[in-house]
Structure 1
Amino acid sequence: MNTAVKAVLLMLGLMLAACTDSTPREIHLLSGARPAELARSHLAGAVLEQHGYGVTIEQVRLGKIWQQLWAGNGDASLSVWLPEASAPFVERFFERLHDLGPKDGGLASEAGFWPAGDRPHTLVRRSLEQDAPEAFAILQALHWQPEDIEQIMASWQQSQDWRQAARSWLAAHPVDLGLVQQP
């Protein structure tokens, strides 16, 4: 290959690299171990995947969720029970996180495991809004009914695969988040 062709290919490569979106396309979700928490996390992951994100879901305990989000070692969790269950962590970690609120009121099967009045909230690391604004908007816009989570849990009973259960549910129940697509 002659030098002129190499130079043109190098310039084209540099131009393409300059035109690519620098927004991170990988999202790391932290999930609790209970079935409804895994269903919520995998449903959010499936929606993020539909929008072009690579998603990893790590199963950890509640205290570790707070620590990892605070330290920036995770992007979001849909498994943070507030206000009472997380009270020991709120004062220490809350200032570096965004609370996007509950996505559902909790399932009847979760009653008794968590304090009465607590709901599963979505927490994200504070810098996610700047680093991945579309992912932040998706997580903020997501809402579902307890029956939706129960259907994903029932599907998991058949497949033993949370990701597949969430994807199957999403294929049968398309989610319109009302987000404006970026050009």
Structure 2
Amino acid sequence: MTIEKTIIKDLVIITPTVFEDSRGYFFEAYNQAKFLENGIEYQFIQDNQSFSKRGVIRGLHLQINPFAQAKLVRVLQGEILDVAVDLRKKSSTYGQHFSVVLNSDNKKQLMVPHGFAHGFSVLSETASVLYKVDQLYHKESERGIRFDDATLAIDWQLDPKEVIVSEKDLILPNFNQIDWTFE
């Protein structure tokens, strides 16, 4: 398992060591001891899974403190562009986003810490996404930012004509309208 730092502090890409033979493959998707050795100290308490078709954008979502969620995101089938936006007010990368292609072939995972908005777009015909969280869902703490916010200018790698977004995500505020941050 390799843990690669990104341009945004605390946001890391995890690539498992895959053992393949004529039967197929095996890898450790999560190893708490290895995570702890690398300073990733979250205690995951729930797994969430979604299935989406091409063009779907889910996000940008988060929960505010004290119910903020860290997420360990991976793809079981298909391919997504996974995106995290730094909302930690004191961070030198506040307001910046990072994206990485996760798919069932590269088996990479994105570790999204507290203080980030998260979302993804589906680049394949369909995709099944699994993510671990360290905090239960708390409706009153749920927040988000519009996927097409001009300030963030995220390239979701989709033709605008094929984008599918929930009604709930269409009414999210823009980045410059948010009144909550993470310290």
Length-normalised TM-score, structure 1? 0.27
Q: Which structure has more RCO (C-alpha within 8 Å, separation ≥ 6)?
A: 2
Greater helix fraction, Structure 1 or Structure 2: 1
TM-score normalized by the length of structure 2: 0.27
Computing the radius of gyration over CA atoms, which structure comes out larger, 1 or 2? 1
